[in-house]
């Protein structure tokens, strides 16, 4: 596979939560950009389809199973990636779950599950990978936030986690900038994925109905698709984005903040 001009030379990228949805689209886009990609999700077997898609297109990919909220698993996964692909210098913290509930009904377990995957997971992955980046004098950290960071009914846990990721992103940008490492966050709006389909089911409505309702409130008059997010991540991961750091990019079809 030829390396695209904007990456300079092949880099090693890790995308978490990459078995489906936004993560899969991002992994495939980074591979098309010329990166070797570690496709990481909770279960290695679920990553194989994305790996196969990448290799069929002429790219290089590795399926990796790890719980990003487990420090030992993260350390083992990054060591495996470094040994099999090379030192990772691009990290996309995309792994996430929802446990929606109104505040008065939300359990501590629902709160903790969301915090552990989104916040603790992003922290552990970033801490583990940053050494490879600072040693290389180049790094791109891209965290997946959400418009829910601005507040969303029934998502006190998710909104808090996604807002927390924005503060985390800005702090990492301050700490690692002098080593050639940037940190940015992409905050998607309504994206057509299995997660939003599950939301429709929970609300007792057809997915098409939910998408139509969502599109009516979006200035570009459509809902997003995973490739919309992948394009944004591709830019932030590129060589040319070296002067963009500590930013939150809302990819939501209109202004959000």
pTM of this prediction? 0.95
Closest by CA position to 9, among listed 138, 145, 169: 138
Residues 111, 138, 158, 250: which is the catalytic one?
A: 158
Per-residue pLDDT reduced to its tens digit, 144-186: 999 999 999 999 999 999 999 999 999 999 999 999 999 999 9
Per-residue pLDDT reduced to its tens digit, 192-235: 998 888 888 888 899 999 999 999 999 999 999 999 999 999 99
CA–CA–CA angle 57, 62, 78 (5° rounding): 145
Q: What is the pLDDT of residue 196?
A: 86
250 is catalytic: no
As beta bridge partners, residue 248 has: 185
User: How many CB atoms lie under 10 A from the CB of residue 151?
Assistant: 11
Q: What is the pLDDT of residue 7?
A: 39
CB 148 within 8 Å of CB 248 = no
User: How many CB atoms lie under 10 A from the CB of residue 170?
Assistant: 17
Per-residue pLDDT reduced to its tens digit, 121-145: 999 999 999 999 999 999 999 999 9
């Amino acid at each position: 596979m030829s390396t695209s001009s904007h990456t300079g030379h092949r880099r090693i990228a890790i995308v978490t939560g990459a078995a489906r949805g936004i993560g899969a689209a991002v992994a495939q886009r980074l591979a098309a950009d010329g990166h070797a990609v570690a496709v990481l999700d909770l279960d290695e077997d679920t990553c194989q389809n994305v790996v196969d898609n990448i290799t069929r297109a002429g790219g290089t990919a590795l399926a990796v199973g790890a719980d990003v909220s487990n420090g030992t698993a993260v350390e083992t996964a990054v060591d495996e990636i470094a040994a099999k692909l090379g030192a990772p210098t691009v990290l996309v913290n995309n792994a996430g779950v929802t446990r929606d509930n109104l505040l008065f009904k939300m359990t501590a377990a629902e709160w903790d599950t969301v915090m552990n995957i989104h916040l603790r997971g992003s922290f552990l992955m970033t801490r583990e990978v940053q050494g490879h980046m600072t040693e290389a004098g180049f790094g791109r950290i891209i965290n997946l936030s959400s418009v829910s960071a601005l507040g969303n009914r029934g998502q006190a846990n998710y909104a808090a986690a996604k807002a927390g990721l924005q503060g985390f992103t800005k702090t990492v940008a301050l700490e690692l900038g002098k080593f050639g490492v940037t940190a940015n966050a992409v905050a998607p709006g309504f994206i057509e994925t299995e997660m939003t389909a599950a939301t429709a089911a929970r609300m007792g409505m057809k997915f098409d109905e939910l998408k139509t309702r969502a599109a009516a409130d979006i200035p570009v008059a459509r809902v997003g698709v995973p490739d919309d997010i992948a394009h944004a991540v591709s830019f932030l991961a590129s060589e040319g984005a070296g002067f963009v750091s500590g930013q939150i990019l809302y990819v939501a079809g209109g202004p959000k903040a």
